[in-house]
Structure 1
Amino acid sequence: MRFAAIGDSFTEGVGDDLPDGSVRGWADLVAAGLAAGLDEPVDYVNLAIRGRLIEPIVRDQLEAALALEPQPTLISFNGGGNDMMRPGFDLDRIVGLIEHAIDRCAQEGVGLLLLSGGDPTMRLPRGAMMSDRGRIYLEAVDGILERHPEQLFVDNWSDQELRRAPYWSADRLHLGPLGHERVAARVLTALGVETDLPTSTDSAPESRRALVEAQYYARYVLPWIGRRLTRRSSGDGRTAKHPEWVRIDPTAVHRAADAPHEPGKHADP
């Protein structure tokens, strides 16, 4: 199997930080899970870059994935989350781009996995607006699936458990390690590799004291507003973390799984 992942920060793996400052994320875990579950090597590319809107994901990343030699057998595609946070949210345009991606993969004979990100809106500023947009986005995806009944879709947005605070990073926008693990398990199961869903046992209430909120706004919200005002993106100047095929060896994955590691963490495949 040759697995290529395209998308934004969700697919890049932001929030699942490694000690060296790089990120892992659900797509890396899926590649390792496929190798272990199929007991055969899996070649893996990850072209996702944080901050990307859906148009450059389809225009640039999808075409780069389809141009790989050899071609992928499977492409995962998520996009639209950054579009939902911007003025001028154009649902019809997003739907058209998703259907274009479906058509392009069909033309090339490449399998396509669509998936939505988790729903972070309960704890975000302007979360109600994003929640409404997420709802109409999913309704639009339902229409796409009616027109393309063969299309595989993993709906993480509707996962109620995934909305809880223990699955999210400190910025409240990106999944943390456990959230990425849960998405990876959902994707692997959808691909035929049955995987238990990680679940948090943490029932402690999230602190929302004034000082905590002030620190949160200073560290995460104000820089985000600054980037919007100056038309910058968190992904400016960044390149894909795995732009060429990387081989995931199932024997190495098995050894990594048997090695001791911190709860909520995985050894590198």
Structure 2
Amino acid sequence: MAWRSYVAMGDSFTEGMCDEYPDGTYRGWADLVAARLAVDSGPGFGYANLAIRGRLLGRVVDEQLEPALAMRPDLVSFAAGGNDILRPRADAAALIARAEPAVAALRAAGADVILFRFADIAPHIPGGQRMIAPRAAAFNDGVRDLASRHGAYLIDLFADETFHRREMWADDRLHLSAAGHRRVAGHVLTALGVGVEEEWMLIPPVPQPTPWLLARGADWRWARDHLAPWLGRHLCGQSTGDLITAKRPMLAPIGE
């Protein structure tokens, strides 16, 4: 099937953080998917990316759903909830309940919808298996059921153990590296039945284990450089996306 338009909704995962173009702006898996879809669709293909870093699921729905529906796209990706799940009081069931009307509205408008079971970040975060993994698992299971109820494409990144490799992640351990974004794009294009660059899906060699002392030093630097600033913003009610606008707010051909 050749989709004529694609709108990406979400947060930093979809904005493409940590996969930089030469000018410092972000590319990410959604741009890669759009570029490949445009090859099949031709010059009339339109792409919009409404995602903004730091957005919680409720704000994604409140701010991005109506603009997405107004564009009447053939294909929409909806990826939100990752920022919510990092918060200790997150309620996975409530998040799914908040997302469901949005997915239903997109489907009712005739759009094919892409949903995600998010990759497992817990192995990379000190204490993550205890503090984050249970909420993330419950949310991912809810997304799986949501996709089934509404006939959405489900991209199951959680089942891909390659994302346990550190090279799939940026230094902050929360955002994908360039290699991680390409692997996500490969999964999406495969699910859509579109050809994919084979190297995007190559599994890298298993790295040598990091000595314990070096690993603890890396954990300390991560906490200093990334965790502490995140906690500070959270306590102050601030977000990295407070002054950011969507990078592609309207449907436009690739390259514009």
Q: TM-score, normalised by structure 1?
A: 0.85
Shift of 1:246: 2.5
Match of 2:203 among 199, 202, 222: 199
Q: Does the Cα contact within 8 Å between 1:8 and 1:53 map onto a contact in 2?
A: yes
One-letter identity of the residue aligned with 1:97 = R
**RMSD of equivalent CA atoms:** 1.9
Unaligned runs of 5+ in 2: none
Task: Tell me the distance in 2 between the aligned counterparts of 1:146 and 1:186.
Answer: 18
List aligned pairs for 1:37-116, cutoff 5 A.
38=40, 40-41=42-43, 42-68=45-71, 71-116=72-117
Task: Tell me the distance in 2 between the aligned counterparts of 1:2 and 1:156.
Answer: 24
Shift of 1:44: 0.6
Q: Which residue number in structure 1 is paired with residue 160 of structure 2?
A: 159
Task: Tell me the distance in 2 between the aligned counterparts of 1:236 and 1:131.
Answer: 27
1:32 aligns with 2:35: yes
Shift of 1:54: 0.5
One-letter identity of the residue aligned with 2:145 = G
Aligned-partner SS, 1:157: coil
Q: What percent of counterpart residues are identical?
A: 40
1:138 aligns with 2:140: yes
Task: Tell me the distance in 2 between the aligned counterparts of 1:198 and 1:35.
Answer: 24
One-letter identity of the residue aligned with 1:200 = P
Shift of 1:48: 0.2
Shift of 1:119: 1.6
One-letter identity of the residue aligned with 2:111 = V
1:234 aligns with 2:240: yes
Shift of 1:62: 1.6
Unaligned runs of 5+ in 1: 250-268
One-letter identity of the residue aligned with 2:143 = V
1:246 aligns with 2:247: no
Shift of 1:39: 5.4
Q: Structure 1's 210 and 144: CA in aligned 2 closer, same or farther, altered over 3 A?
A: closer
Q: Structure 1's 93 and 163: CA in aligned 2 closer, same or farther, altered over 3 A?
A: same
Q: Structure 1's 204 and 79: CA in aligned 2 closer, same or farther, altered over 3 A?
A: same
Alignment coverage as a number of residue pairs: 246
Shift of 1:227: 0.6
Shift of 1:216: 1.9
1:120-157: CA deviation from partner (whole Å, max 9, x where unpaired) = 11011331221111111122223324433x22111112
Q: Structure 1's 19 and 146: CA in aligned 2 closer, same or farther, altered over 3 A?
A: closer
Higher mean displacement: 5-14 or 96-105 = 96-105
Q: Which residue number in structure 2 is paired with residue 256 of structure 1?
A: none
List aligned pairs for 1:164-175, cutoff 5 A.
164-175=165-176
Task: Tell me the distance in 1 between the aligned counterparts of 2:41 and 2:152.
Answer: 26
List aligned pairs for 1:1-12, cutoff 5 A.
1-12=4-15
Aligned-partner SS, 1:67: helix
One-letter identity of the residue aligned with 1:55 = G
Shift of 1:176: 0.1
Task: Tell me the distance in 2 between the aligned counterparts of 1:188 and 1:94.
Answer: 26
Higher mean displacement: 95-104 or 226-235 = 95-104
Q: Which residue number in structure 2 is paired with residue 20 of structure 1?
A: 23
1:182 aligns with 2:183: yes
One-letter identity of the residue aligned with 2:185 = A
Q: Which residue number in structure 2 is paired with residue 252 of structure 1?
A: none
1:141-184: CA deviation from partner (whole Å, max 9, x where unpaired) = 23324433x22111112211122111111111110000000000
Q: Does the Cα contact within 8 Å between 1:168 and 1:174 map onto a contact in 2?
A: yes
